[in-house]
Chain A
Amino acid sequence: MSIDLKNIQSGYDGFRLKDVSLQIARDSLTVLIGPNGCGKSTLLKTISRELHPRGGRVLLDSKDVTQQRSKLVARQISVLPQHPVVPPGITVEQLVGYGRAPYQNLLGLRSSEDRLRVEDALEIVDLSPLKDKLVSALSGGQRQRAFVAMCIAQDTPYVLFDEPTSFLDIRYQYEVLDLMATLHEQGKTVVAVLHDIAQAARYATDLVVMKDAQVRAVGKPTDIITEDMLSAVYGIDARVYADPVTGTPAVSAL
């Protein structure tokens, strides 16, 4: 089981992924890295059906996502977008509750299972005490956790996170990364876009390097993060060394 991208061309006027093929293995924690504007979000949006590929196919467990009922795909893949919209006048619990939409009818009536899942999700991200607060009144880190909880409530085997750590201070960054790792340990397949290469190397089981609308390299972090790659992809002169805490590759620019 996996998510398979086959010769994907998707994007906008002026930007198009160039025949991207990629397999995201079930049970992996796959991290996408690459320079700004290289197409990482475009790739995730294509998987989550926000963008329709103009060429190629996205297979979810070998079935084309565009051929399946939207609700059924929604029970398989959940998404934390790069810029989630904070709706006005919505409490944390209500927001997390929306994660149950794929299991509800169009009126959004909640079952007792829905309630349990929402409670669990709030517990996992440690937001139970704040469940009646407005999302708009939360701090950046709490807000991000609320959106993660929404993904958890959605109860999907695949979870996509687009830059979940950007704009967070270092403590909240690790909070979110650890949350990601926890979900992975619990058996979810996690796909995340990260900018910090050391963090990517530390958390990823599989690393995907993108540049100029293409996938440049796929593999284990230790194999992929090399001085040559950094110079070819980011155009920087840098040293790679083993992180003294984790032993995974870390980077210092020269």
Chain B
Amino acid sequence: MRHASSTRLIWTLLGLTFAAIAVFLWSLSAGAVHIPIATIINTLFDLDGPKQSFIINKSRLPRSLLAFCTGGSLALSGAIVQALLRNPLASPKIIGINSGAALGVLLTFILAPTLNLNWLPVVAACGGILAAAAIFTVAEIATVSPARLALVGIAIGMTCDAAVDFILATSELYEVSAPLVWMTGSLWNRGWAHLNAVWPLLVGLSAITLLYSYRLDLIRLGTAQATSLGLNVRRERLVLLALATLLAALSVSVVGVLGFVGLMAPHIARQMVGGTHRGLLPVAMLVGAILVVVADAAGRALFAPLEVSAGILTAMFGAPFFVFLLLSNTSEARG
């Protein structure tokens, strides 16, 4: 049966890789201007025949790549947080990333309205990391109990959210419309600069996370078991929290709040290949990447020339699907 589950994992990964490639190509073709797949292939591989260099190379390619990287990273971050908190409903949001990033961006807009928009991702990443650090400090990370971390996370996250609401309510709308669009998780106007700023980091962090898959399995058993199995729980938990924080904060810094992916992708992965992180992490990564690429392309294509944020689409279609998943999952666990 070990062979059976390994086989299943390999087939799932293969299937998802093909799906990811297909979805990726589709995302390059979808948008206000439809581009046939043949043209895309010609452009990407510099073949003879009709090409669309400008739209693909300048706009859609970096954007889809960014969607791919951040989707995968958010999914990984979510999987880590769910294992650490032993809570299937946890996501990077619970360690304050989203709220902290949003608050950071809005505060910057208010306090330094002349700041170049290029700084927005940096500000967002810092805001997210600061909020996470505050949560870890208050929750006494060293002796942390998952329940305490979750409660503190919710409290600090809500405080940040309230501050965001306060700023929105008391500001003139035109001042904050740019950060508003950003906050809904949009990839509009993202290009090579954004991609190049984050992809090396995201790829590196993801690779490290994959090396932690067995330790995540053990930590998932609870402090008592993990300790008695020889794990330095305190140290590994700190490293993993740092990984989850950086993965999510860097992603949110360039694509805004794409909250649902981190919650949903690990769940879908768990249903596909079970709960060991050796399979769960890569599958969740691919699922997350596919979700965000699809959401971004669909948001561009469905209502062209208007754009709907990927964040809105993932939540709108993701939420009902997710509830359905949870319900079917519980009945399976009972049976």
Contacts of A93 in B (CB 8 A): 1-2
CA distance A154 to B228 in the complex (A): 10
* Contacting pair B86 A94 (CB below 8 A): no
> CB-defined interface of A83-107 with B at 8 Å, one 1/0 digit per residue?
0110111110110001101101011
Interface size on B, residues (CB 8 A): 32
Contacts of B148 in A (CB 8 A): none
* Contacting pair A134 B333 (CB below 8 A): yes
CB distance from B274 to the nearest CB of A (A): 4
CB within 8 Å for A85 and B274 given contacts A49-B227, A107-B211, A108-B214 = no
Q: Is A202 an interface residue (CB 8 A)?
A: no
Contacts of A101 in B (CB 8 A): 214, 218, 229-231
Contacts of B211 in A (CB 8 A): 106-107
* Contacting pair A108 B217 (CB below 8 A): yes
* Contacting pair A94 B222 (CB below 8 A): no
Name the residue of chain A whose CB is nearest to the CB of B88.
A88
* Contacting pair B230 A89 (CB below 8 A): no
> CB-defined interface of B218-255 with A at 8 Å, one 1/0 digit per residue?
10111111011111100000000000000000000000
* Contacting pair B333 A107 (CB below 8 A): no
| B155-169 CB contacts (< 8 Å) to partner A | none
Name the residue of chain A whose CB is nearest to the CB of B280.
A89
Interface size on A, residues (CB 8 A): 38
Q: Is B275 an interface residue (CB 8 A)?
A: yes
| B172-207 CB contacts (< 8 Å) to partner A | none
- Residue picked from A48, A89, A154, most chain B C-beta under 10 Å: A89
* Contacting pair A98 B230 (CB below 8 A): no
Contacts of B5 in A (CB 8 A): 91
Name the residue of chain B whose CB is nearest to the CB of A71.
B230
* Contacting pair B214 A89 (CB below 8 A): no
Q: Is B270 an interface residue (CB 8 A)?
A: yes
CB distance from B333 to the nearest CB of A (A): 5
* Contacting pair B227 A48 (CB below 8 A): yes
Contacts of B224 in A (CB 8 A): 45, 48, 50, 79, 81, 84
CA distance A50 to B225 in the complex (A): 9
CB within 8 Å for A89 and B218 given contacts A74-B230, A79-B225 = no
Contacts of B220 in A (CB 8 A): 85, 87
Contacts of A84 in B (CB 8 A): 221-222, 224-225
Contacts of B1 in A (CB 8 A): 91, 93, 131-132
Q: Given A72-B230, A79-B224, 13 other A-B contacts at CB below 8 A?
A: A48-B224, A49-B228, A70-B232, A73-B230, A79-B225, A90-B274, A90-B275, A90-B276, A93-B2, A101-B214, A102-B229, A107-B211, A150-B225
Can you give 20 contacting A-B residue pairs, CB < 8 Å? A48-B228, A50-B227, A75-B230, A78-B228, A79-B228, A84-B222, A85-B221, A88-B88, A91-B5, A93-B2, A94-B275, A101-B230, A102-B229, A106-B214, A106-B215, A107-B214, A108-B214, A108-B217, A108-B278, A136-B333
